[in-house]
Amino acid sequence: MPRQRHVAKLLLITGLACAAGWSASVRAEDDAQAITRLRAEIAKTIDPRCTNVSFCRILPMGADACGNPTSWIAFNNAPDIKEILETKASEVTFIEEDRFRGKPKPTDCKAAKPPKLACINSRCVIGDLSY
């Protein structure tokens, strides 16, 4: 009888361990799907049109192990666009930050500088535009 209890305990522990691993992988897939969905929504919301750079704004999004943004969004500061983009970008950032929560930051972290913003071909764009 004690042997049967021991086997039952092992099966229970094994089942719980498998369930915990499966749960973590499902959550990671859910996070990846959420980020994909949010990025698609952001792409639909962005209005990149401009006549000069004064119409353009830049928004950081995501988080790497150092806490720096993983990407930047260039957009036309049309009414109500900024608030929608900030909300969606904050959701992406929260999901990406969650991967690193409780882990120490790498020792070689450097603060990220915002990229340059420009209006080229009537579109707000980001990147190093030096020639």
Quick check: is 24 in a domain? yes
Which residue range is the domain that position 60 belongs to?
2-126
> Residues with Cβ < 8 Å from 50, sequence gap 6 or more?
56, 76, 119, 122, 123, 124
pLDDT of residue 90: 95
pLDDT of residue 77: 85
Contact 126, 72 (CB under 8 A): yes
Q: Three-class SS string for 10-27? A: HHHHHHHHHHHHHHHHHH
Quick check: is 131 in a domain? no
Please choose, from the candidates 126, 29, 51, 41, the residue with its C-alpha nearest in 3D space to the C-alpha of residue 88.
41
Distances in whole angstroms, Cα of residue 30 to Cα of each of 19, 27, 35, 95: 16, 5, 9, 10
pLDDT of residue 29: 62
Q: In the chain, which stretches have pLDDT less than 50? A: 1, 6-23, 25-26, 130-131
Quick check: is 83 in a domain? yes
Query: Considering the entire predicted model, what is its pTM?
Result: 0.68
Contact 48, 75 (CB under 8 A): yes
Q: List residues bridging with 59 in a β-sheet.
A: 73
Three-state DSSP at 112 gives: coil
The total number of structural domains in the chain stands at 1
pLDDT of residue 127: 72
